[in-house]
Structure 1
Amino acid sequence: MSFLEIRHLRTLLALAETGSVSLAASRLFLTQSALSHQLKQLEQGYGMSLFERKTQPLRFTAAGERLLALAHDLNARVAAAERDLARLRQGEVGELRVAVECHTCFDWLMPAMDAFRQHWPGVELDIVSGFHTDPVSLLLSHRADLAIVSEAEPQAGIDYQPLFAYEMVGIVARDHPLANKRCWLAEDFAGETLIHYPVPDEMLDLVRKVLRPAGVNPARRSSELTIAIIQLVASRRGVAALPYWAVKPYLERGYVVARPIGERGLSSELYAAVRGDDGGLAYMQDFLATVREQSFATLPGLTPLGAA
């Protein structure tokens, strides 16, 4: 009898996506020692190594690649079966209107929506047009069914589901003096022009978590588009703080330089807000699962969030 379990296969998928034991353990809400013990059991059971541990990122052996292929196949089959059961229980049709409050949400939201449409073709999926500073109010007035928000503020009739956390990095032109610093502190922004999206300060984690507590209020400039902000930074018109996954392609091309903000970095969070009565809908739960799965598989530097 095989001792291989679905949890083992999900561990392999997390390892493949994160490239490290520590990040995979965080993704699966396990301790690193528990995950290492699970991997040791697998290798002892099969009598061969599944990984080359001294590589970064971690690299699978031929045996590991074979189990990883099984993990991809079986995980997709299990997810499809569970969706079929959910359709039988709750039906296949519905409406899911999504409102967002973050300008960079579309980078990861659109691929997740494309995948979801294949799972639930009978659900009418749409994005509520425009950028919304208070998307939760759209839920309460039934103008939206799900809202992507950065804070889980308690509110009657609203449930929050954690999506993921991500790192915000400071970006600067390659020849800017701040490019030579290991990380940036609040005072490093004092003499700079901060370029950001045109949103209230309460929605800017850099301002809310770093600058305001330190009494730093730099000059400002705003732009609607991420690429426009990066272009302004590259032209030494100012500095900015953006999600690492959003700027990574431009870092690889050498357009700008990124540095951590603070000794421990600056972390931001995203949650899905839904009406309490809708949280149990099968297609709603599958949409949230699809968002997490797609995001963790494609965006660098994400970490899981606990329940709100």
Structure 2
Amino acid sequence: MDLKQLKALQVIVDTGSFSEAASQLGLTQSALSHQLRRLEEELDETLLVRARPRVYPSEAGQAVLASARKIQTELAGLQTHFARQRKGPVTGSLHIAATSLSIVYVLGDLCEAFMEKYPGIEVNFTASETAGAAVKRVLVGASDLAFTPMTEANKQLVSVPLGRTDHVFIVRNSHPLAQRPAVSMDELRAFPFVLFQPGSGTRGIMDGLFLPSGGYGRILTESNDAQFIKRIVSISNGVALMPVYAMSDGVAREKLSQLTCEQTVPHVDIGIVHRRGVQMHAIELFKALCLDLRGPSLTHYTRTNVGPMR
């Protein structure tokens, strides 16, 4: 077992593709496959599940990957330590997991600011299906940080709250509820729902609102693609819940109406998490920049002040 094999495993998992990983590592695909096969033979375990559209780690692969991350963290720490002694640029890598919705509307601005300030740190992204899946990647060592709703405490994780985002119910402009100054949950329940999938922060809010009081009624469809949800709502009588920061595109401005709920203004706190006990300079630098941009209190996204977190 050597560092090249562990690095190969990491890059394959991060990209989900042997061909993309080979390109990033400057290897032929056959050479990369040979490295991985030697590692699997040495450990007598299958480390990767070769599926479509993405390759993903087996249970054994997750365990090896977690150890590989720790090794890389230690090496990055040494490099950073001696880089600081040389007064040169900060170098290293940072692996971040988040949903595409978070990356597009919130996290992207933070990462852009981080990469501008620390160009020597390589930032890698994994777009997860749900926030829960992003957190799981951190727990198994596949990612260093995850962007997620601050809904459940986990003793294995350090949480850094960064903001609070209000959510709004949306309907198309010609919907029977569109012109109402405020609507009740019972009135919303009379129409089919377009929902985020279980495991997402927005779905968690919806479940908390509707399941204890009679459920949803009819569900039109479920998806974690915010653009898809907004488009379906714009052509149907469906109702959806959406974070306010996702309401700035053309479809939202031109085709959708935002509703005020009589009972509540749904909201969720959002932020980043990393594994407790991990000492990694790039993580600390990212946390420090996020907190600096946030300021002394949580950034609050509302219908009237939607914008980047800075």
Instruction: Give the TM-score normalised by the residue count of structure 2.
Output: 0.59
Q: Deviations over 1:95-145 (max 9, x none)?
A: 211112473442222232122111111212111243243332222221111
Alpha-carbon spacing, 1:301–1:265, altered in 2? closer, same or farther (3 Å): farther
Question: Which amino acid in structure 1 is aligned with residue 266 of structure 2?
Answer: L
Partner of 1:92: 90
**How far does residue 152 in structure 1 lie from its aligned partner after superposition?**
4.3
Offset of 1:278 from its aligned partner? 4.0
How far off is 1:200 after superposition?
4.0
1:100-139 correspondence runs (5 A): 100-101=98-99, 103-132=101-130, 133-139=132-138
Secondary structure of 2:277's aligned partner: helix
1:254 and 2:251 are equivalent in the alignment: no
Is contact 2:169-2:258 (8 Å) kept? yes
* Partner in structure 1 of residue 206 of structure 2: 207
Aligned residue among 286, 289, 307 for 2:288: 286
Are 1:173 and 1:256, in contact at CA under 8 Å, matched by a contact in 2? yes
- 8 A Cα contact 1:196 1:240, kept in partner: yes
Residue by residue over 1:149-204, the C-alpha shift from the partner in whole angstroms, topping out at 9 and shown as x without a partner, is 11342223311000101110011111211112222332122221111233347751
284 and 205 in structure 1: CA distance in 2 versus 1, 3 angstrom threshold: same
- Once the 2 structures are TM-superposed, how far is the Cα of residue 267 of structure 1 from its aligned partner? 1.1
Provide closer, same or farther for how the CA distance between residues 127 and 291 of structure 1 changes in structure 2, counting only shifts above 3 A: farther
Aligned to 2:231: 231
State the alpha-carbon separation in 2 of the partners of residues 217 and 231 from structure 1: 20
What is the Cα deviation at residue 238 of structure 1? 0.9
Question: Higher mean Cα deviation, 239-248 or 262-271?
Answer: 262-271
* Amino acid of the structure 2 residue aligned with 1:185: S
Secondary structure, aligned partner of 2:163:
strand
- Offset from partner CA, 1:235-289 (integer Å, 9 cap, x none): 1241111012211344774311101234441112212111223478441323423
Who is 1:31 aligned against?
Answer: none
Q: What is the rounded CA distance, in whole Å, between the counterparts of 1:198 and 1:152 in structure 2?
A: 16
How far did residue 296 of structure 1 move?
5.3
Q: Is the 8 A contact 1:296 1:302 kept in 2?
A: no
- The answer to whether the Cα contact below 8 Å between 2:95 and 2:123 also exists between their aligned partners in 1 is yes
| Structure 1, gaps ≥5 residues long | 1-86, 304-308
Count of matched residue positions in the alignment of Structure 1 and Structure 2: 216
Q: Hey, what's the Cα distance between the residues in 1 that align with 2:263 and 2:206?
A: 16
User: Any idea what the Cα deviations from partners look like across 1:59-105, whole Å, max 9, x if unmatched?
Assistant: xxxxxxxxxxxxxxxxxxxxxxxxxxxx8489822321111247344
Contact persistence 1:152–1:160 (CA under 8 A):
no
Structure-2 residue corresponding to 1:71? none
Q: Is the 8 A contact 1:198 1:222 kept in 2?
A: yes
* TM-score, normalised via structure 1 length: 0.60
TM alignment of 1:161-176, pairs within 5 A: 161-176=160-175
C-alpha root-mean-square deviation of aligned residues, in Å? 3.3
Q: Distance in 2 between matches of 1:248 and 1:110?
A: 15
Q: Residues 167 and 266 of structure 2 are in contact (CA less than 8 Å); yes or no, is this contact kept in structure 1? A: yes
Contact between 1:115 and 1:290, CA under 8 Å: does it hold in 2? no
Q: Percent identity among equivalent residues?
A: 17
